[in-house]
Amino acid sequence: MRKSLNRHTELRSLLEHLNLGGMAAVFADLALKAAKENLSHEAYLLELATHEQEQRVQRRTARLLRQSGLPQEKTFRTFEVERLSPALQLQIERLKSGAFLDNAINVIAVGKPGVGKPQSTHYLN
């Protein structure tokens, strides 16, 4: 057991040194799960790598949102659509459906300064 504990500590340290913090955090739990479910080595590694990749995507998304400077608490639910003209309200409803993504259509926000173009496009995320 002593040798196993040293390997565990050494592996965690090595994974962290290789900037694989997501793997370092869950490798032991996933190893137990893999042993209980009789998963192959490849299946265990796939779960481990998938977890690391998901963690990296989450961290990158959070970092980019922080760097954007956009207010995080603003969503379509808090957006005051009634302040807009009826034509713009209709356009916002169309954008909320996300159909432009399926058709790969670019969205360009044009208008006077201070009317909320960045805020409106932020809601599309």
pLDDT tens figures, 12-67: 999 999 999 999 999 999 999 999 999 999 999 999 999 999 999 999 999 998 88
The reply to whether 13 and 58 lie within a common domain is: yes
**Cα 17 from Cα 1, distance rounded (Å):** 24
What does the pLDDT read at residue 39? 92
What does the pLDDT read at residue 104? 82
What does the pLDDT read at residue 90? 84
Rg (CA), the chain: 23
**Cα 47 from Cα 5, distance rounded (Å):** 22
Tell me if 99 is assigned to some domain. Answer: yes
64/101: higher pLDDT: 64
The distance of Cα 12 from the centroid of its chain, to the nearest Å, equals 24
Flag whether the pTM goes above 0.75: no
- Looking at the chain, the whole-number percentage of residues with pLDDT higher than 70 is 86
How many structural domains is the chain composed of?
Answer: 2
Q: Which tokens hold the place of 19? A: 């900037």
Range of the domain at 15: 2-68
Give long-range contacts, CB 8 A cutoff, 24+ apart: 88-94.
Answer: 92/120
Residue 101 reports pLDDT greater than 70: yes
Tell me if 75 is assigned to some domain. Answer: no
